[in-house]
Amino acid sequence: MNIVDLIYKEECYQLVGLAYEMFNKLGYGYQEKYYHRAYAAELAAQNIAFKRELLARIKYGNGIIGRYFMDFMIDNKIVIEFKVADDFYLKHINQVLAYLKATSLKLGVIMLVTKKGIQYRRIVN
């Protein structure tokens, strides 16, 4: 794969665009749960397959040693995690990496809701 070949490039472009659309309608100043609901409405309006607050289990041997709840899984291949914050923090990146490892998925996107709008970062497993 060439370094410029992005994983799920078109899908990611569309998903980020929907986050911008959501922010343009809703604005800044709400809790994450309200951005989740608005984003879910945008996804549903575009007929994009998604699951919210999806459980991801951490397996070890034959048992389960932990669990995560992801904000969104899109089309069973992309994890979307929303944060209302001023910057991307290492703990957010590590959180999405853990989701990707637990689910064996390749791509996660952190959607940061800031006063200036949506910022995003792609996280590749």
Round the average pLDDT of the chain to a whole number and report it: 92
Where residue 5 falls among pLDDT bands split at 50, 70, 90?
A: confident
How far is residue 110 from each of residues 1, 2, 34, 85, measured CA to CA in Å?
23, 23, 16, 11
Flag whether the pTM goes above 0.75.
yes
In tens, the pLDDT along 21-67 reads 999 999 999 999 999 999 999 999 999 999 999 888 888 888 888 88
Are 99 and 79 spatial neighbours (Cβ–Cβ below 8 Å)?
yes
What are the structural domains, with CATH classification, of the chain?
A: 9-124 (3.90.320.10)
Are 74 and 103 spatial neighbours (Cβ–Cβ below 8 Å)?
no
Pairwise CA distance, residues 80 & 120, whole Å: 10
In tens, the pLDDT along 56-100 reads 888 888 888 888 899 999 999 999 999 999 999 999 999 999 999
